[in-house]
Structure 1
Amino acid sequence: MTATATTPRALRATALVVETTPLDDVRQLLPFLDARHPLLWLRKGQGMAGLGTALRLEFSGADRMRAAATAWSEIVSRSSVIDPIGRPGTGLMAFGTFAFADDSELPSVLIVPEVVIGRRDGQSWITRIRVADEPADDSTDADGRTGSAAVTAPAMPQPTPFGDEYRLSLLPGSLKKDGYREAVAAAVERIREHDLSKVVLARDLVGHLPLESDLRRALVELALGYPECWTFAVDGLVGSSPETLVRVDHGSVSARVLAGTVSRGADAEADHDAAVSLATSTKDQDEHRYAVESVIAALAPHNSGLAASDIPFTLKLPNLWHLATDVEGALSDGSTSLDLIDALHPTAAVAGAPTADAVDLIRELEPFDRGRYAGPVGWVGADGDGEWAIALRCAQVSENGDLTAYAGCGIVADSEPDRELAETTMKFRPIVEAFG
């Protein structure tokens, strides 16, 4: 049974019963997922897989993240939680994904699963969650998932075989290649004429999945191909993001900022030259600096001792080099991870600088609603800790199988339209290969 709470009255009436118990080490989480509606947060084989929906919270508008923080606090205050393990992701938790734009038509959501199977640092666990007024039930469905009262009837869900293989061709969507070149040129002109330093412009690819397609197949490709990234699936949004928006763990805060990109070289020498070229590129260094400054400015009011390296490092992914900077600090005001994603979003890495002007130009030049692309995606626990990435290298899959993927680039004064178009092609590669 799924409970949906979207109003203050509904929230006040919602209480959850939660129990986490240890498991023998579970090495593979993806086979436990629902083939059509997976819930996943995974990196280097560690994370959480969610089954079913105990509670779904929806939000929209400019205050969507603040509203989520308030709603989550209300839910936590009314919940009964037994968690003898006490690791990140155990106990009461919710998967979340938030729209990029304040006026997006796609809702932002927090989803509390009925069952969570997790693994971290060699410790595996299962958490069962139900709405308090639901009757106890030890039933399992056809896929082996437990009923909503699994807290009192600890039947173990069973992994299920993957569905048939499929191949999907993705085609240009609302913004074709020539249209993207024109948008980049228009952005460069605007930057040179006005007080705008950077704007991030995206384009889209579209396709259609057969209705019985198993999304776990794409997630396996992403998780194996990009193990250093956060592989995620929340409410039809699937992807592997290299960028940590924020991580909160017992008072410590960290973020990884990525901005500035170049394709990997064809051989070792060319690859080395590509990394050196990126590290010494004035254009990429400027783009990266704007992104780091925006993160530090957003986190500073909530942290003491915030620190970041003076010089970015080059981060190697299977298809790209990125300029990267890690930011770390200690919480000084009791903010939760939901409070911090509200403070951070949108960063200059996915919007531009100054932020408000960049968002206005994105709205003008992009002929589509980004949905959850470039918004926060991740999870939050009962204590407010959590891990949130920026939803990059991702696609949104609708209930009828329509798929839309997005990729964008940071545009500055000396950006070249053809180069930026080529960069988006490389950034589409994880999704194109996962579904193709």
Structure 2
Amino acid sequence: MKVLPGLFQDTLLRLLQQAHKRAEQHKKDILISLTVPITVRDGLTLFSSNRYQQDSQFFWEHPQTQRTLVGIGCATRIQLDGGSRFQAVNAYWKELLQHAVIQEEHTLSLSSGQAHISGPILFGGFAFHETEEKSALWEGFPGASFVVPLILFSTHKEDTTVTFNYIVKPDTALYRDEDYCVTIFSQLLVLQEETYTPGASHPERELLIKRDKQFLTADDWKQLVSQSVQSIRQGEYQKIVLARGIKIELQPATERFNIGDIVNHLRHHHSNAYIFALQHEKRYFCGATPELLINTHNGTIHTMALAGSAPRGQTLAEDQNIAMHLLQSKKLLEEHRFVVSAIYQALQPLCASVSYSENPEILRLENVQHLITPLAGKLLPMRTILDLVEALHPTPAVGGLPQKKALEIIRQEEKLDRGWYASPIGWLDAYGNGEFAVALRSSLIDGQSATLFAGCGIVADSDPEEEYKETCWKFQAMMNSLGVGISTLPQQDL
């Protein structure tokens, strides 16, 4: 179904008039949000296009469920640091929605019959640590940053809607808002029929590992793992997740990474993962994470415990043998049980019920397989998805147990500014629904350079060399998307 520009304009002007009355009455900014059906072949075209010349964009997709969210521009945002960041974002969203003027014109037009993400959403994420201190690596990525996009494209299977969001201020003339909004809307139809076309391949390009003193060397990181194993055996704590980073650069120096091609590769090779890319000015944080932190829909919640990893096999028989080892490994099962127990306990105060299977399953990804235990529950009234995010982050799968002790050691010894790596990233809508994933298998893209992150859960039986190899498997997801397989680089460079 194509949207008639006249219908766009008439409805939009009516919403603007209502919002201006509310803005004058309440002496505050008022959000307007209009959702209508639209025809778009591929959301990645919209994300990778420079037509809108915006410095704030995001891409979110779960290929397995055929859902895509693309946000372009910024109607309004919240950015802050500090320990109260989860509740501050919660309060900001609640206040913004209190007097918002929201209209959705799509309910009867969607053909899939499935729940569709539409209306205004708040998209963004949190830094791993709540501290206000950060390195230059993560400049522009504060403790919390969320945006209501100016334009949101939401696709589920064959259905797509576009949501236009705008803030009406008490002191702005109505005609100025009308002129601006109609101009933006007139641009929306231009990209409807375009399909994403990958950029040209560059076989002559090379990726080089750049030695960076802000990251531990491979030997120093393995030594840290060894020290942690000793501390665990001595009873100081039960588990710790240690991460490491590598920085790579394109050669020649005139080359630049193409974010559209990176995301396109990730979405076609990681169908079980959440594909995300978030822009802050000229930099992008992107990845393909297998780990759902929390999903809420109509008061029902879903999450997972994901811990215990192994590589994929070269043959079906080898792959099955590795999976069997995962399911029988005392060390990996113990690591997994830590995570299941901690998530269950975190959910209990916020949910009327929580259930999960006693035995983990296998989640197979392109180059790694994991132990996974899904959990489900019913959210208590007056509780929100951000309450759940605050209670769960960081899970033992990315932090450790006990949490406070593990985070203290990570801060002191890891020598890595995690920034938004292993942190919650996702969205929430106006109706209490939302979805957050843990930002694993990720990279910070800055022109010709990319910083990659990977971590491992360390327990009493961990072997430093094996844990180091595990980080190399995990780097591979992003390394391949950047244009080179990890096997083409000497292991000592990693």
TM-score for the superposition, normalised by structure 1: 0.89
2:41 and 2:188 map into 1 onto residues whose CA distance is 19
Looking at structure 2, the residues matched to 92 and 338 of structure 1 have their Cα atoms a distance apart, in angstroms, of: 16
Q: From 115, 118, 130, give the equivalent of 1:90.
A: 118
1:327 counterpart residue number: 375
Matches within 5 A, 1:201-212: 201-208=242-249
Shift of residue 100, structure 1, vs aligned partner: 0.2
- CA offset digits 1:282-301 (Å, max 9, x no partner): 11101111111111111111
| 2:45 corresponds to | 31
Cα distance in 1, alignment partners of residues 357 and 264 from structure 2: 34
What does 1:419-430 correspond to in 2, within 5 Å? 419-430=466-477
What are the within-5 Å matches in structure 2 for residues 267-278 of structure 1?
267-278=315-326
AA aligned to 1:298 is: A
User: Aligned partners of 1:69, 1:387: CA distance in 2, in Å?
Assistant: 14
Q: Which residue of 2 aligns with 1:100?
A: 128
SS in 2 for 1:156: helix
User: Partner residue of 2:59?
Assistant: 40
Equivalent AA in structure 2 for residue 406 of structure 1: F
Structure 1 pair 165/75, CA: closer, same or farther in 2 (3 Å)? farther
Counterpart residue type for residue 217 of structure 1: D
- State the identity %: 31
Summarize the Cα distance change of 1:266–1:213 in structure 2 as closer, same or farther, 3 Å threshold.
closer
| Residue identity matched to 2:167 | V
Conservation of the 8 A alpha-carbon contact between 1:130 and 1:151: no
> Is 1:377 aligned with 2:432?
no
Report what 1:156 is aligned to.
189
CA RMSD of aligned residues (A): 2.3
Contact 1:34–1:51, Cα closer than 8 Å, also in 2: no
Residue 199 (structure 1) aligns with: 240
Q: Does 1:305 align with 2:353?
A: yes
2:112 corresponds in structure 1 to none
Distance 1:254 1:92 in 2: 22
DSSP-derived class of the 2:129 partner: coil
For residues 256 and 207 of structure 2, the distance between their equivalents in structure 1, rounded to whole angstroms, comes to: 17
The one-letter code matched in structure 1 to 2:78 is L
**Separation (CA, whole Å) in 1 of partners of 2:372 and 2:206:** 32
**Matches of residues 247-286 of structure 1 in structure 2 within 5 Å?**
247-286=295-334
The range that moved more, 41-50 or 420-429, is: 41-50
The 1-side partners of 2:81 and 2:255 are apart by: 28
Question: Does 2:349 correspond to 1:349?
Answer: no
Q: Identify the match of residue 130 of structure 1 among 166, 171, 179.
A: 166
More helix per residue: 1 or 2? Answer: 2
Residues of 2 paired with 1:423 and 1:18: CA distance? 45
1:116 and 1:386 map into 2 onto residues whose CA distance is: 15
- Deviation string for 1:140-163 (max 9, x for gaps)? xxxxxxx65568657425147655
* Structure 1 position 195, deviation (Å): 3.4
Distance 1:136 1:339, change over 3 A: same
Tell me if structure 2 keeps the 8 A contact 1:20–1:91. Answer: yes
Kindly tell me: are residues 37 and 206 of structure 1, through their superposed partners in 2, closer, same or farther at Cα, counting changes over 3 Å?
farther
Q: How far off its partner does 1:57 sit?
A: 1.2
- Which of 169, 177, 180 is 2:207 aligned to? 169
CA contact 2:168–2:177 (8 Å) conserved in 1 = no
Residue 270 (structure 2) aligns with: 226
**Cα contact 2:34–2:163 (8 A) shared by 1:** yes
Matched residue, 2:487: none
1:112 equivalenced with 2:148 (yes/no): yes
Equivalent residue for 1:410, pick from 454, 457, 466:
457
Q: Distance in 1 between matches of 2:91 and 2:456?
A: 33
8 Å Cα contact 2:198/2:264 also seen in 1: no
Q: Which residue of 2 aligns with 1:431?
A: 478
Q: 1: CA distance between counterparts of 2:75 and 2:285?
A: 19
Match of 1:141 in 2: none
AA in 2 matched with 1:117:
F
Residues 253/232 of structure 1: CA separation in 2 closer, same or farther (3 Å cut) = same
CA contact (8 A) 2:241 2:399 kept: yes
Within the candidate set 62, 70, 73, 2:91 is matched to 70
In the alignment, the residues of structure 2 paired with residue 85 and residue 346 of structure 1 have an alpha-carbon distance, to the nearest angstrom, of 37
Deviation at 1:170, TM superposition (A): 5.5
1:181 paired residue number: 222
1: CA distance, partners of 2:189 / 2:165: 13
Shift of 1:137: 5.4
Please say if 1:59 is aligned against 2:97.
no
Query: CA–CA distance in 2 between the matches of 1:295 and 1:85?
Result: 37
Q: In the TM superposition, what is the alpha-carbon distance from 1:403 to its structure 2 partner?
A: 2.5
In the TM superposition, what whole-angstrom CA distance separates every residue of 1:194-250 from its partner, at most 9, and x where no partner exists?
A: 331100000001134668543111000001100111001123210111010000111
Indicate conservation of the 8 Å contact 1:196/1:358, yes or no: yes
| 2:36 equivalent in structure 1 | 21
Contact map agreement 2:293 2:304 (CA 8 A) in 1? yes
The alpha-carbon deviation at position 27 of structure 1 amounts to: 4.1
CA distance in structure 1 between the aligned counterparts of 2:310 and 2:146, rounded to whole angstroms: 34
After superposition, the Cα gap between the structure-2 partners of 1:20 and 1:417, relative to the gap in structure 1 and judged at 3 Å, is: same
Q: Does the C-alpha gap of structure 1 residues 278 and 49 become closer, same or farther in structure 2, counting only changes over 3 Å?
A: same
Give the direction of change, closer, same or farther, for the CA distance of 1:119–1:50 in structure 2 (3 Å limit): same
Indicate the larger mover: 173-182 or 34-43. 34-43
- CA deviations on 1:70-110 (whole Å, 9 max, x unpaired) are 11111121321112446442000021121000115240210
Q: Check 1:148–1:197 CA distance in 2 against 1; reply closer, same or farther (3 A cut).
A: farther
Measured in 1, the distance between the counterparts of 2:278 and 2:335 equals 30
Unaligned runs of 5+ in 2: 1-26, 50-54, 108-114, 135-140, 484-494
Question: Structure 1: which amino acid aligns with 2:160?
Answer: S
The whole-number CA distance in structure 1 between the counterparts of 2:184 and 2:350 is 36
Which segment drifts farther, 248-257 or 26-35? Answer: 26-35
* Alpha-carbon spacing, 1:81–1:200, altered in 2? closer, same or farther (3 Å): same
Q: Within 1, Cα distance between the matches of 2:183 and 2:406?
A: 48
Which stretch shifts more, 51-60 or 413-422?
A: 51-60
CA distance in 2, matches of 1:431, 1:314: 22
Given that 2:37 and 2:160 are in contact with CA atoms closer than 8 Å, whether structure 1 keeps it comes out as yes
Shift of residue 383, structure 1, vs aligned partner: 2.0
Counterpart in the other structure of 1:144: none
* Cα deviation 1:390-420 (Å, max 9, x = unaligned): 000011234x554221100000011000100
Instruction: Report the 3-state secondary structure (helix = DSSP H, G, I; strand = E; otherwise coil) of the residue aligned with 1:266.
Output: coil
